[in-house]
């Protein structure tokens, strides 16, 4: 198989980690070898770190710190895990990167040796239209400028437990409109399993629906 | 002022972001800050939003400077605010003391972290005492302890308004957990809900009026006179602003007491315990300073036992004991987990050890 | 030498008559430094816009010295207080007035960083080589060999370092828009000129300005008038050279 790399970028709390896990597990279920890489250098909470044991059990190769290996967690930003640097050299299958938020956008990808020159790199912007800075087409287009390269958008519109099909579909329309202006595809609409079941395979704009199982409530600290 | 929210909207974000948006909605003019986890995203989002709305920001050389520059900004007549945590909060007690003495209505956001010293950055209520009573003074402050993102938004608006109405340093006390937690809330422009934003008045730079402001006094009596006036005005404010919530059984076998994020666990525990048939009450101080003494005395007087739950080693418990001294015979127990998270299950376990076996509930009330 | 016949030399208009005679000790340099500032405020006609900030220590005795808005704080925090006010209201002309302890020791970080940020403020610092109000302990500016409450055998530079060269340090870290000088209360016209230049730099919006004044403390030095002037003129100037250390570059536009 051809190795591929997918990186999920976006705003603080846009749902990048949740999407990265969902995507990695879906690829794993197709029988592919998958590495899930924690590139969040900002946020000591809600990251892959506390979940890695569980995710390994599901067959993923998780590259992230163990909490007990870290010192001063969150105090001075996160240290880069040494294995992240060389993941492209070592790993033969799919590599899914969870990129933390910050002013640097996708520049963080430069920390993975060779990644920015990697031919089959796809960077996807995760968008929740319930966040004020990405609430409409205009704002999403502005937000997307921060990320280069960028290969697609993911609609992750939700309000936690209050999420409805209507809300997700409304988000899908906004993200679709922004994507058109950016000349980028909408890769998927992500929705909690219960919502996704009601939506079916495709969202209102004809983009695939990724059913999302929430892991992050288990990930705090 | 620019319209921040054209219409009310449900939004999904972290607690730190909520503060930045709420400060914007409250009409805050300028933030002075210094990096410390877990409050950093307040600055990150404020610096993204401020230029779009003509607001200011200054990153200073340390927390002392951030705190004192905030006082300068407020004295110049602007709604200025500051945010910090842990060791930063320790340093900021110096400017906060000056704010108490000079009645400077600065607003502070504290995202508590584990202590003492550097420690950890997430779950903690170990800055309760510091935020209420730090500094060399009498704790002439107003401290709101929030539990949800909606409250962070609502009480930020209230903090700016009450700071400028009563002119005491005012705090929104959160913690690393609330700072990072994701949750839905409604963002709104306070004026569309009939809440007028309090106007400001400069202490410096008013044309035709010379104002001298000092912290220093020549004689003890002079200080005492000034301080007595402040104390009386603080007491007056206390009556008007004190807030709490009480729920559950009115004559409980066990009264749970908690503030801030921990009250989410105790509220859930209270509900589940009552569903199991226990007689349980719940009391949550929303203002920690002033502390809702009378309200607590009232419910505590009808309670058989009290369980204080906090992510600190007795900081809330000492406030509770002070409030109840001589007014309640109910023993005060503590579920004290300094710097640790607290779940409803832990509260239930502890409560069930204290509660009379079901079926006997109320037997010894008559 | 000009002989002044008027028994009541003119008091600057910006001085607050109600707080005069002032509270400083006889022979103290603060009164002279603040007279320079007062005359400059008058000459520039900026009393309405001026905010005078003073610190802890003897400078706090000036909290109501002027007929201008004033704020008193401590520990060199006068710098962030006035910088914060200036950031919030750029119309203000702000002056932070302090001693060597506040500016060079406990609040040194504020002086350094305000200078580095080129804050649009003026810092005036009185260097009298001791912590005066606390009873004459060693200051950052205490001269080698000088006896103080905490150097009873004289300051030993091996153990406690050399006197802080404040203006030289500030000059080294500021941009070419800053003004930095060291004067002395023993030469009033020159000191006043420096203060005026400093305030004008702020008025022009060029940036940070800093004037240190060598200042006498006869009370803590235990010196009579003659000894005081001699210490100022002969001893202190050995370590603290007088003069303008940095004069801002003025653009052609500004000159016109």
- B149-172 pLDDT, tens digit each: 999 999 999 999 999 999 999 999
Q: Considering CB atoms only, which of B70, B78, B204 is closest to C71? A: B204
Helix (H, G, I), strand (E, B) or coil at B99: helix
Length of chain A: 221
Identify whether B7 is preceded by a cis peptide bond (ω within 30 of 0): no
Choice between A69 and B268, residue whose per-residue pLDDT is larger = B268
Q: State residue B124 phi and psi, 5-degree precision.
A: -170, 150
Q: Considering CB atoms only, which of B12, B37, B176 is closest to A131? A: B12
Query: Is A149 within 8 Å of chain B by CB?
Result: no
The DSSP call for residue C160 is H
Q: What is the mean pLDDT of residues C158-182?
A: 97
Domain that holds residue A139: 4-218
Suggest the residue from B59, B182, B311, B340 to mutate for an interface test with chain A (most A CBs closer than 10 A). Answer: B182
DSSP string for residues in A8-36: EEESTTSSHHHHHHHHHHHHHHTT--EEE
Tokens 């530079």 -> residue? C157
Torsion angle of the four alpha carbons B356, B358, B362, B364, in this order, in degrees rounded to the nearest 10 = -40
In chain B, how many domains are there?
A: 2
How many CB atoms sit inside 10 A of residue A185's CB?
Answer: 14
Query: Is B304 within 8 Å of chain C by CB?
Result: no
Q: Do A13 and B13 touch (CB under 8 A)?
A: yes
How does pLDDT run across B323-354, given as a tens digit for each residue? 999 988 899 999 999 999 999 999 999 999 99
With touching defined as 3 or more inter-chain CB pairs under 8 Å, the answer for chains B and A is: yes
Q: Which residues contact B310 (CB under 8 A, 6 or more apart)?
A: B125, B128, B258, B259, B262, B316, B317, B334, B335, B336, B337, B342
Q: Which of chain C's residues have a Cβ under 8 Å away from the Cβ of B70?
A: 84
Chain B residue closest in CA terms to A75: B37
Torsion angle of the four alpha carbons B40, B41, B47, B48, in this order, in degrees rounded to the nearest 10 = 160
In a domain, B145, yes or no: yes
Pairwise CA distance, residues C47 & C40, whole Å: 10
- Looking at the predicted structure, is the pLDDT value of residue B357 above 80? no
Suggest the residue from A74, A160, A166, A191 to mutate for an interface test with chain B (most B CBs closer than 10 A). Answer: A74
Q: Considering CB atoms only, which of C16, C63, C68 is closest to B216? A: C63
- Looking at the predicted structure, is the pLDDT value of residue A75 above 70? no
Position A74 scores a pLDDT of 60
Chain A residue closest in CA terms to B118: A72
Residues 325-344 of B with CB under 8 A from C: none
Q: Considering CB atoms only, which of B64, B206, B210 is closest to C77? A: B64
Position A220 scores a pLDDT of 61
Q: What is the mean pLDDT of residues A96-106?
A: 82
Q: Which of chain B's residues have a Cβ under 8 Å away from the Cβ of C88?
A: 29-30, 56, 72-74, 76-78, 80
- Looking at the predicted structure, is the pLDDT value of residue B359 above 70? no
Among the listed residues A195, A19, A18, the one whose alpha carbon sits nearest the alpha carbon of residue A124: A19
Q: Do B17 and A72 touch (CB under 8 A)?
A: no
How many CB atoms sit inside 10 A of residue B179's CB?
Answer: 30
In a domain, B205, yes or no: no
Instruction: Give the pLDDT band of residue A107 (cuts 50, 70, 90).
Output: confident
Chain A residue closest in CA terms to B85: A75
- Say if residue B148 is in the same domain as residue B38: yes
Residue B2: burial class (beta carbons within 10 Å; 0-12, 13-18, 19+): exposed
Pairwise CA distance, residues B59 & B61, whole Å: 7
How does pLDDT run across B100-125, given as a tens digit for each residue? 999 999 999 999 999 999 888 888 99
Q: Which of chain C's residues have a Cβ under 8 Å away from the Cβ of B95?
A: 77
- Say if residue B96 is in the same domain as residue B180: yes
- Say if residue B251 is in the same domain as residue B231: no
- Say if residue B225 is in the same domain as residue B313: no
- Looking at the predicted structure, is the pLDDT value of residue C199 above 70? yes
Pairwise CA distance, residues C173 & C82, whole Å: 20
Closest approach of C105 to chain B, Cα-based (Å): 14
Q: Quick check: C199 and C209 in contact, CB under 8 A?
A: yes
The DSSP call for residue B177 is H
Position C113 scores a pLDDT of 98
Chains that touch B (3 or more CB pairs under 8 A): A, C
Position B358 scores a pLDDT of 63
In a domain, B61, yes or no: yes
CA atoms within 13 A on the CB side of B323: 26
- Mean pLDDT for all residues in chain B: 95
The DSSP call for residue C104 is I
- Say if residue B256 is in the same domain as residue B236: no
Position B365 scores a pLDDT of 44
Q: Do A12 and B12 touch (CB under 8 A)?
A: no
Q: What is the mean pLDDT of residues C58-76?
A: 96
- Looking at the predicted structure, is the pLDDT value of residue B366 above 70? no
Q: Going by CATH, does the domain composed of C17-250 fall within 3.30.70.270?
A: no
Task: For chain B, give the percent of residues with pLDDT over 70.
Answer: 97
Position C5 scores a pLDDT of 57
Choice between C137 and A113, residue whose per-residue pLDDT is larger = C137
Position A2 scores a pLDDT of 66
- What kind and span of H or E run contains B222? helix B220-241
In chain A, how many domains are there?
A: 1
How many CB atoms sit inside 10 A of residue A200's CB?
Answer: 9
- Say if residue B231 is in the same domain as residue B296: no
> C220: which strand partners?
none
> A96: which strand partners?
A6, A36
Instruction: Give the pLDDT band of residue B363 (cuts 50, 70, 90).
Output: very low
- Say if residue B226 is in the same domain as residue B276: no
Instruction: Give the pLDDT band of residue A102 (cuts 50, 70, 90).
Output: confident
Position A1 scores a pLDDT of 57
Q: Do C72 and B72 touch (CB under 8 A)?
A: no
- How many Å separate Cα B74 from the centre of its chain? 20
Closest approach of B36 to chain C, Cα-based (Å): 18
Instruction: Give the pLDDT band of residue C6 (cuts 50, 70, 90).
Output: low
Pairwise CA distance, residues A110 & A41, whole Å: 13
Q: Do B122 and A130 touch (CB under 8 A)?
A: no
Q: Considering CB atoms only, which of A46, A131, A132 is closest to B180? A: A46
- Looking at the predicted structure, is the pLDDT value of residue A186 above 50? yes
Instruction: Give the pLDDT band of residue C4 (cuts 50, 70, 90).
Output: low
Domain that holds residue B272: 244-354
Instruction: Give the pLDDT band of residue B1 (cuts 50, 70, 90).
Output: very low
Q: What is the mean pLDDT of residues C3-25?
A: 84
Which chain C residues touch B if contact means CB-CB below 8 Å?
16, 48-49, 51, 56, 60, 63-64, 67-75, 77, 79-89, 91-92, 109-110, 112-113
Ranges assigned E (strand) in B124-189? 142-145, 170-175, 182-187
- Say if residue B93 is in the same domain as residue B236: yes
Instruction: Give the pLDDT band of residue A180 (cuts 50, 70, 90).
Output: very high
Pairwise CA distance, residues C16 & C18, whole Å: 5
Helix, strand, coil percentages in chain A from 3-state DSSP, rounded to 5:
35, 20, 40
How many CB atoms sit inside 10 A of residue B249's CB?
Answer: 21
In a domain, B363, yes or no: no
For the record, the structure tokens of B355 come out as 């509660």
Query: Is B14 within 8 Å of chain A by CB?
Result: yes
Q: Which of chain B's residues have a Cβ under 8 Å away from the Cβ of A159?
A: 10-12, 184
Q: Considering CB atoms only, which of B10, B48, B177 is closest to A159? A: B10
Identify the CATH number of the domain in which residue B60 sits: 3.40.50.970
- Looking at the predicted structure, is the pLDDT value of residue A84 above 90? no
Position C115 scores a pLDDT of 98
Closest approach of A42 to chain B, Cα-based (Å): 10
Identify the CATH number of the domain in which residue A142 sits: 3.40.50.300
- Distinct helix (H) and strand (E) counts, chain A: 7, 8
Task: For chain A, give the percent of residues with pLDDT over 90.
Answer: 59
Among the listed residues B148, B141, B87, B142, the one whose alpha carbon sits nearest the alpha carbon of residue B112: B87
Q: Which of chain C's residues have a Cβ under 8 Å away from the Cβ of B75?
A: 71, 81, 84-85
How many CB atoms sit inside 10 A of residue B193's CB?
Answer: 10
Pairwise CA distance, residues B111 & B93, whole Å: 15
Pairwise CA distance, residues B240 & C15, whole Å: 42
For the record, the structure tokens of A134 come out as 């990405």
In a domain, B300, yes or no: yes
DSSP string for residues in B41-81: HHHHHHHHHGGGGT-EEEE-SSHHHHHHHHHHHHHTT--EE
Ranges A46-50, A202-206, C91-95: which has the least confidence: A46-50
For the record, the structure tokens of A2 come out as 């051809």
Position B362 scores a pLDDT of 47
Position C27 scores a pLDDT of 94
- Mean pLDDT for all residues in chain A: 89
Identify the CATH number of the domain in which residue B348 sits: 3.40.50.920
- Say if residue B165 is in the same domain as residue B80: yes
Q: Do A162 and B9 touch (CB under 8 A)?
A: no
Q: Do B71 and C84 touch (CB under 8 A)?
A: yes
- Say if residue B227 is in the same domain as residue B286: no
Last residue within a domain, chosen from B241, B274, B307: B241
For the record, the structure tokens of B95 come out as 């400017």
Instruction: Give the pLDDT band of residue B316 (cuts 50, 70, 90).
Output: very high
How does pLDDT run across B237-290, given as a tens digit for each residue? 999 999 999 999 999 999 999 999 999 999 999 999 999 999 999 999 999 999
Position C38 scores a pLDDT of 98
Query: Is B66 within 8 Å of chain C by CB?
Result: yes
- Looking at the predicted structure, is the pLDDT value of residue B364 above 60? no
Position A214 scores a pLDDT of 85
Domain range summary for chain C, segments of one domain joined by +: 17-250
């Amino acid at each position: 198989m051809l190795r591929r790399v997918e990186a999920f970028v976006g705003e603080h709390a846009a749902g990048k980690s949740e999407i990265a896990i969902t995507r990695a597990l879906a690829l794993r279920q197709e029988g592919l070898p998958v590495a899930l890489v924690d590139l969040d250098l900002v946020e000591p909470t809600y990251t892959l770190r506390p979940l890695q044991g569980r995710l390994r059990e599901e067959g993923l190769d998780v590259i992230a710190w163990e909490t007990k290996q870290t010192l001063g967690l969150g105090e001075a930003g996160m240290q880069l895990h040494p294995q992240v640097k060389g993941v492209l050299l070592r790993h033969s299958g799919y590599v899914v990167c969870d990129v933390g938020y910050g002013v640097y956008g996708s520049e963080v990808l430069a920390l993975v040796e060779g990644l920015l020159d990697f031919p089959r790199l796809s960077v996807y912007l995760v968008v929740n239209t319930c966040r004020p800075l990405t609430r409409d087409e205009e704002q999403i287009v502005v937000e997307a400028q921060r990320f280069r390269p960028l290969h697609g958008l993911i609609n992750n519109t939700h309000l936690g437990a209050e999420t409805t099909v209507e809300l997700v579909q409304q988000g899908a329309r906004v993200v679709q409109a922004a994507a058109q202006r950016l000349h980028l595809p909408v890769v998927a609409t992500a929705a909690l399993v219960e919502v996704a079941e009601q939506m079916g395979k495709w969202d209102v704009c004809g983009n695939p629906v990724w059913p999302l199982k929430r892991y992050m409530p288990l990930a705090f600290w | 002022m620019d319209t921040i929210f054209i219409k009310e909207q449900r939004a999904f974000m972290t607690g730190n972001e909520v503060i930045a948006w709420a400060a914007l909605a409250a009409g805050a003019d300028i933030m002075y800050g210094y990096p410390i986890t877990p409050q950093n995203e307040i600055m990150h989002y404020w610096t993204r939003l401020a230029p779009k709305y003509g607001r200011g920001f200054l990153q200073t050389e340390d927390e002392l400077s951030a705190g004192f520059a905030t006082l300068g900004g407020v004295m110049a007549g602007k709604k200025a605010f500051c945010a910090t945590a842990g060791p930063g909060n320790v340093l900021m007690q110096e400017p906060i003391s000056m704010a108490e003495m000079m009645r400077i209505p600065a607003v502070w956001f504290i995202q508590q972290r584990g202590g003492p010293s550097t420690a950890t950055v997430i779950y903690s209520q170990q800055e309760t005492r510091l935020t209420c009573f730090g500094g060399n003074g009498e704790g002439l402050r107003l401290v709101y302890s929030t539990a949800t993102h909606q409250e962070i938004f609502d009480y930020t608006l209230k903090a700016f308004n009450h700071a400028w109405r009563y002119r005491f340093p005012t705090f929104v006390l959160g913690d690393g957990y609330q700072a990072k937690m994701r949750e839905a809330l409604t963002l709104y422009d306070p004026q569309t809900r009939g809440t007028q934003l309090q106007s400001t008045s400069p202490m410096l730079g008013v044309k035709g009026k010379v104002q001298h402001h000092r912290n220093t006094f020549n004689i003890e009596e002079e200080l005492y006179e000034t301080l007595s006036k402040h104390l009386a005005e603080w007491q007056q404010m206390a009556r008007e602003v004190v807030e709490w919530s009480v729920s559950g059984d009115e004559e409980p076998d066990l009264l749970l007491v908690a503030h801030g994020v921990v009250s989410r666990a105790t509220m859930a525990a209270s509900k589940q315990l009552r569903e199991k048939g226990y007689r349980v009450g719940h009391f949550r101080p929303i203002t920690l300073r002033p502390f809702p003494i009378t309200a607590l005395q009232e419910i505590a007087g009808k309670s058989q036992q009290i369980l204080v739950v906090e992510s600190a080693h007795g900081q809330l418990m000492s406030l509770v004991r002070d409030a109840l001294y001589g007014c309640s015979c109910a023993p005060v127990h503590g579920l004290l987990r300094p710097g640790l998270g607290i779940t409803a299950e832990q509260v239930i376990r502890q409560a069930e050890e204290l509660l009379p076996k079901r079926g006997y509930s109320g037997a010894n009330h008559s | 030498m000009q002989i002044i016949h008027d028994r009541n030399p003119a008091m600057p208009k910006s001085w607050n008559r109600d707080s005069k005679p002032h509270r400083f000790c006889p022979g103290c340099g603060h009164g002279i430094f603040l007279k320079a500032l007062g005359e400059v405020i008058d000459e520039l006609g900026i009393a309405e816009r001026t905010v005078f900030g003073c610190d802890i220590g003897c400078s706090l005795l000036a909290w109501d010295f002027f007929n201008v808005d004033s704020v008193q704080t401590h520990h060199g925090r006068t710098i962030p207080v006035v910088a914060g006010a200036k950031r919030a209201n750029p119309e203000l002309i702000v002056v932070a007035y302090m001693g060597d302890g506040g500016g060079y020791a406990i609040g040194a970080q504020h002086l350094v960083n305000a200078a580095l940020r080129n804050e649009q403020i003026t810092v005036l610092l009185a260097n009298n080589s001791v912590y005066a109000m606390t009873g004459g302990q060693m200051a950052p500016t205490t001269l080698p060999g000088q006896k103080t409450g905490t150097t009873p055998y004289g300051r030993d530079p091996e153990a406690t370092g050399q006197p802080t060269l404040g203006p030289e340090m500030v000059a080294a870290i500021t941009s070419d828009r800053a003004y930095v000088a060291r004067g002395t209360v023993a030469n009033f016209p020159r000191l006043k000129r420096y203060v005026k230049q400093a305030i004008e730099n702020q008025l022009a919006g060029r940036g940070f300005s800093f004037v240190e004044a060598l200042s006498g403390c006869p009370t803590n030095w235990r010196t009579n008038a003659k000894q005081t002037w001699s210490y100022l003129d002969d001893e202190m100037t050995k370590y603290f050279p007088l003069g303008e250390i940095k004069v801002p570059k003025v653009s052609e536009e500004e000159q016109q």
